[in-house]
Amino acid sequence: MNKFEVLGFEPRFGLDAVELERRYKELSKKLHPDRFATAPAKERIASLAAATALNDAYRTLRAPVARAAHLLEIHGRKLGQNESVDQAFLMEILELREALAEAQAEGDAPRIQALGGDIGGRRAAALTALGEALDAERWDDAKRELVLLRYFDRFLAAHGDEEEDE
């Protein structure tokens, strides 16, 4: 059973977030181990497995990037750890990471913010392109956008972590 099926959805990128949450909570009320706290061991194990799968499916479908990756996996394009990527893009992102690290070391807040805003914008554009490619079933294009998104997200994670350590 794929993760769309767990929550009763067609495997498509576009998803009604409100409906997703409603179904998740409804199913949780039925499957959660709290409902089986005093049941026989067999039922408790089954509930644990079902609730774990439900939580996993919900976590995947809720986040657009994870949802897209799962959709691609269903269509035989699972992302590996080291997907090839355009060399020029790789060089550029490495330089931007260096610039970010420098700005952070110097405590250059305006520069940090500008870098974050820039990548944030490009991430949004890639997400739109990803959605369009998935809807048009251009799986390979979608996969390429997803690889870019992963680089942008890693950049933003590095960007965010620094903000946190006040």
What's the min distance (Å) between Cβ of 136 and another protein?
30
77 lies in the site for another protein, by CB under 8 A = no
User: Hey, what are 11's tokens?
Assistant: 């495997």
Query: Do the Cβ atoms of 47 and 32 come closer than 8 Å?
Result: yes
| Candidate ranges 84-92, 110-118, 135-143, 158-166; the one touching another protein (CB under 8 A) | 158-166
What lies within 8 Å, CB to CB, of 103 at 6+ separation is: 111, 112, 115
Residue 86 CA to its chain's centroid (Å): 21
37 lies in the site for another protein, by CB under 8 A = yes
User: Hey, what are 67's tokens?
Assistant: 């949802």
Count other Cβ atoms within 10 Å, centred on residue 134. Answer: 24
32 lies in the site for another protein, by CB under 8 A = yes
In the bound state with another protein, the residue whose beta carbon lies nearer, of 56 and 92, is: 56
Would you tell me which residues interact with another protein (CB under 8 A)? 25, 28-29, 32-35, 37-38, 40-41, 44-45, 48, 51-53, 55-56, 58-59, 160, 164-166
